[in-house]
Structure 1
Amino acid sequence: MARGGIFCVEGQWHRDLSEQGSVIPTLELLERLRRIRFIYRDVATPEELSYFLDRWLLKQYSDYRVGFFAMHGEPGRLCLTDKATVELDDVAEQLAGRCQDKRLYFGSCSVLKASDATLLDFLDVSGAAMVCGYTREVDWVDSAAFETVLLDVLANGALVNAAEKRMGSGPWRELAAYLGFRIVYANGRTWRPGTRSRVPAQATAA
């Protein structure tokens, strides 16, 4: 079976250029274990992010169905650097219906704390199957341990809800709850560890 493909864009985490924190070791570990293939690019400006997202969505990269956004964040916003930010709404417009069957993971503090309406609008505009990430500030080491398993599941899971089944069981359930991990699906269903999946009222009415 072909290994799942991950496309990762990473922001500039540190003001000090001598610091070397990065998600690359996690991606390389999974690749060496023959669990994934990945494409990695670092971005520091909205223009760079836009350029690489356009490249990712070319037909030749269609089997890289996981989009991994590794950067600082705030509710509904990605922080590429300490000065450059991008609203989720703007990212959705950039993706503009070209993300069918894509699974998007925001490895960023608090981005998934955005409202249901914001996240559902993002999914509707982008066309992605799901988004997942954190609703609170997360520690680097804790999140790195968590996403080692999560990225494997997102890249190789046969079903979209494979992530909630894996991350909601065993030792990962407790860590998922601690990190405030959340999944929102294009059909309006949302999931958090320790709770039943639910469909927001506005999605039901729609």
Structure 2
Amino acid sequence: MPKKNYIYCLESVPDVETPGSSPILKGLETLATQYGITNVYKTCDSIEGFEEGISTLLYEDRHFKEYAVIYLVFEGRSNELKIDNYYYSFEEIAEFFEGRLQDKIVHFANTLQLDLDEETFQYFLDVTGAKAVSGYANTAPVLSTVLDNLYFSLSQEYDDVVEITETLFEKQYALCNALGFRMYY
């Protein structure tokens, strides 16, 4: 029986004080009810909120070792994350996680186009210690939550990122292709 792993989701929102219903939250609820995967959802609206969300995960969450996936839902451009109307490079984001993501997959929703060159993704993996970084290269008018949920459920079954990716493409080739799914490891 495969071990259960947690998923930590950090989503950028315009204002954390304004209540709202995120479609990502609905997807995470489905993930919990349909696949039985425990997840934690946080929001941020500033770089300080991003740092706080990451610090809480890294230093205060007693289940941190059990997280398989760090799921980041941020808008962006040219492989830069947009936080509070400022763009942060992958190198800058890597430094927030420096050396603390051993055996973790960092996954980006399709709100950010992810098409990294070898130097950038290798730097990210080397600095963070992550097992892999994944996301989508193509823009789409719908959120990637359906494919994300399948991907997360496969990460519970398989430890090998190549096996996860191959199985994902076997099950949802058209959707993977349309969204431009990418896995860097």
Instruction: State the TM-score, normalizing by the size of structure 2.
Output: 0.87
Match runs of 1:29-178 below 5 Å: 29-58=30-59, 60=62, 61-81=64-84, 83-141=85-143, 143-170=144-171, 172-178=172-178
Cα distance in 1 for partners of 2:36, 2:76 equals 27
Runs of 4+, deviation exceeding 3 Å: 17-21, 108-111
> What's the CA shift string for 1:53-106, capped at 9, x where partnerless?
12212372210121000121222211234x133221111011111111011101
Q: Please name the residue that 2:5 is paired with.
A: 4
User: Structure 1 residues 69, 120: CA separation in 2 closer, same or farther (over 3 Å shift)?
Assistant: same
Secondary structure (helix, strand or coil) at the match of 1:40 reads: strand
How far 1:150 sits from its partner (Å)?
1.1
* 1:134-171 alpha-carbon deviations (Å, 9 max, x no partner): 11212324x1221120121224423232321221113x
Q: Is contact 2:80-2:90 (8 Å) kept? A: yes
Identity %, equivalent residues: 23
> Is there any run of 5+ residues in structure 2 with no aligned partner, and where?
none
Q: Which amino acid aligns with 2:56?
A: R
Check whether the contact 2:101–2:130 (CA below 8 A) recurs between aligned residues: yes
Alpha-carbon distance in structure 2 between the residues aligned to 1:73 and 1:155 = 28
SS in 1 for 2:38: strand
How many angstroms does 1:3 deviate by? 2.5
Higher RCO (CA-CA < 8 Å; seq separation 6+)? 2
Q: 1:35 to 1:161 in 2, by over 3 A?
A: farther
The answer as to whether partners of 1:7 and 1:40 remain within 8 angstroms in 2 is: yes
How far is the alpha carbon of 1:109 from its aligned partner?
A: 3.7
1:63–1:166 CA distance, 2 compared to 1 (3 A): same
Point out where structure 1 has 5 or more consecutive residues left out of the alignment: 186-206
What SS class does the counterpart of residue 154 from structure 1 fall into?
helix
**Contact conserved, 1:9 with 1:70, CA < 8 A, in 2?**
yes
Shift in alpha-carbon separation, 1:28–1:110, aligned structure 2, 3 A: closer
Give the total of aligned pairs.
Answer: 180
Partner Cα separation in structure 2 for residue 22 and residue 85 of structure 1: 23
Match of 1:25 in 2: 26
| Aligned-partner SS, 1:165 | helix
| Distance change >3 Å, CA 29–CA 42, structure 1 → 2 | same
SS in 2 for 1:161: helix
Q: Partner of 2:182 in structure 1? A: 182
